[in-house]
Amino acid sequence: MTELLIVSKPRGRIFRWIGGGVYKEYKSPVSGSRSDSVSNLTISGTFTYTHLWDGYTMRAQQYIIPNKNNLAIGEVRIWLKRVGSPAGTLYVELWDDDGDLPGSKIADIGSIDVSTISTDGQTYTFTPSSTITLEPNAKYWIVVKYEDGDEDNYVEVHQGTSDIKADWYSAYYYSGWHRESNDYDFDVYLKFVNLELSINLDFIYSGTAVRRLQETVSKSWATITDVKVNGQSVGASLEKEDNIPQADSYTVTYLFDSTSNSYSLSVDIQRYLYYNKTSITLDDLDVSEAYLQEIEFGDSGGVLRIDDSPDCDLVGSGGETMQFTGILIPFRKLEWISGGGEVLILGVE
């Protein structure tokens, strides 16, 4: 009688384990951009001198805001001259419009001690301490106010010798507001505020890595104030080290302001897979035996420990590859003590 013995041959599988904090680019970057510009509200021409004293306590210039959203006052520049030895404070204010005359004050723009004003006359810059937004197509007034002068000690401003801006009025205050046509040398410099740039991207992935995003930003005259990923703030920049919600799609929103009357913001967002798992075991692989085949160390190198034994540490420099094709190195557990990389494993079921 012949006995037939059937032997089952174990099956082997090849695994590639990436771990220890390795980042891998995933698909191509997704881009978005936004830009805009607007003309500043300036008045250029031939000017003469007009005083602030003897009841003429305020001089005002009207402006019509361009038809653009998110505009604000960046700064106001006004030519001033001191005559004699005036004392007190000169104020620069923003007023609303009431029938092509100044209505009521909206905001303070700045002030100056008149004793510091040049006796030769020069342009002074006034910058608001907080954001002053402007409505599209609305009329506003810049009001210069000084109430302490007399006939020997006062402040002068520039006023055009003609009607420089036909669509804008000017006005002076003397026991009430009086409309004029010749414009004052008050220049308003604009900026954009509360801007948003949103970029949508998919991130369909079902592996063991963690999704991460990395920005590359190119900008002019733009200050990023916050970045939100699916509504969650990550600060003023987006780095692949930032923890983000794990999702199959993302909306990345940049909140920013401009520092001038024009701006541009361009952003590329690279998707990354972050392999942050630092150890792996036979149970993780679902095999009965496992053998090292190859180690490819990451850019920073690393130390790979076998079976919790420091005597079995494998140390490699950045980009180094170790191959074990001629020898079997079994393990029950691998752990990246430092650094990370890719490990090729032969598993036996």
* Digit-coded pLDDT (tens) for 5-54: 444 455 788 888 898 889 999 999 999 999 999 999 999 999 999 999 88
Query: Residue 139 — very low, low, confident or very high, per pLDDT cuts 50/70/90?
Result: very high
Domain of 124: which CATH number? Answer: 2.60.120
Q: Are 51 and 95 found together in one domain?
A: yes
Evaluate whether 66 touches 192 at the Cβ level (below 8 Å): no
Closest among 192, 221, 198, 224 to 69, alpha carbons compared: 192
Q: Is 115 helix (H, G, I), strand (E, B) or coil?
A: helix
Q: Tell me the average pLDDT across 79-83.
A: 98
Q: Are 158 and 251 found together in one domain?
A: no
Q: How many domains does the chain have?
A: 3
> What does the pLDDT look like over 273-320, one tens digit per residue?
999 999 999 999 999 999 999 999 998 999 999 999 999 999 999 999
What Rg, from alpha-carbon coordinates, does the chain have? Answer: 35
17 within some domain: no
Separation of alpha carbons 92 and 146, rounded Å: 9
pLDDT, residue 349, reads: 84
Q: Are 246 and 154 found together in one domain?
A: no
Q: Are 176 and 51 found together in one domain?
A: yes
4 within some domain: no
Q: Are 58 and 179 found together in one domain?
A: yes
Q: List residues bridging with 159 in a β-sheet.
A: 48, 184
Separation of alpha carbons 11 and 83, rounded Å: 100
Last residue of a domain, one of 160, 184, 208: 184
9 within some domain: no
Q: Which two tokens stand for residue 284?
A: 């993780």
Query: Residue 144 — very low, low, confident or very high, per pLDDT cuts 50/70/90?
Result: very high
Evaluate whether 60 touches 76 at the Cβ level (below 8 Å): no
pLDDT, residue 218, reads: 99
Looking at the predicted structure, is the pLDDT value of residue 239 above 90?
Answer: yes
Q: Which two tokens stand for residue 74?
A: 């960046």
Q: Are 143 and 76 found together in one domain?
A: yes
Q: Are 288 and 170 found together in one domain?
A: no
6 within some domain: no
What are the backbone dihedrals phi and psi of residue 282, each rounded to the nearest 5 degrees, phi first?
-60, -35
328 burial class (0-12, 13-18, 19+ CB within 10 angstroms)? exposed
15 within some domain: no
260 within some domain: yes
Q: Are 298 and 262 found together in one domain?
A: no
CB atoms within 10 A of CB 218: 11
Query: Residue 134 — very low, low, confident or very high, per pLDDT cuts 50/70/90?
Result: very high
Query: Residue 327 — very low, low, confident or very high, per pLDDT cuts 50/70/90?
Result: confident
Q: Are 168 and 218 found together in one domain?
A: no
Q: In this predicted structure, which of 210-214, 224-228, 262-266, 327-331 has the lowest mean pLDDT?
A: 327-331
Separation of alpha carbons 311 and 321, rounded Å: 20
Looking at the predicted structure, is the pLDDT value of residue 326 above 90?
Answer: no
What are the backbone dihedrals phi and psi of residue 115, each rounded to the nearest 5 degrees, phi first?
-70, -15
Listed in sequence order, the residues at least 6 apart from 258 whose beta carbon sits closer than 8 Å to its beta carbon are 191, 192, 193, 195, 221, 222, 223
What is the helix (H) or strand (E) element at residue 4, kind and residue range? none
Q: Percentage of residues in the chain with pLDDT exceeding 70?
A: 97
109 within some domain: yes
> What does the pLDDT look like over 110-133, one tens digit per residue?
999 999 999 999 999 999 999 999
Looking at the predicted structure, is the pLDDT value of residue 135 above 70?
Answer: yes
**Apex CA 346: angle with CA 342 and CA 349, to 5°?**
135
Q: Are 174 and 202 found together in one domain?
A: no
Q: Tell me the average pLDDT across 78-99.
A: 98
Domain encompassing residue 241 = 25-37+195-274
Q: Are 256 and 150 found together in one domain?
A: no
What count of Cα atoms within 13 Å lies in the side-chain half-sphere of residue 342?
Answer: 13
pLDDT, residue 155, reads: 98
Report how many helices (DSSP H) and strands (DSSP E) the chain contains, helices first.
1, 26
Q: In this predicted structure, which of 10-14, 107-111, 193-197 has the lowest mean pLDDT?
A: 10-14
Query: Residue 328 — very low, low, confident or very high, per pLDDT cuts 50/70/90?
Result: confident
Please, what is the average pLDDT of the chain? Answer: 94
Q: Which two tokens stand for residue 192?
A: 């954009």
Closest among 290, 297, 306 to 343, alpha carbons compared: 297
199 within some domain: yes
Q: Are 99 and 64 found together in one domain?
A: yes
Query: Residue 4 — very low, low, confident or very high, per pLDDT cuts 50/70/90?
Result: very low
Last residue of a domain, one of 184, 212, 235: 184
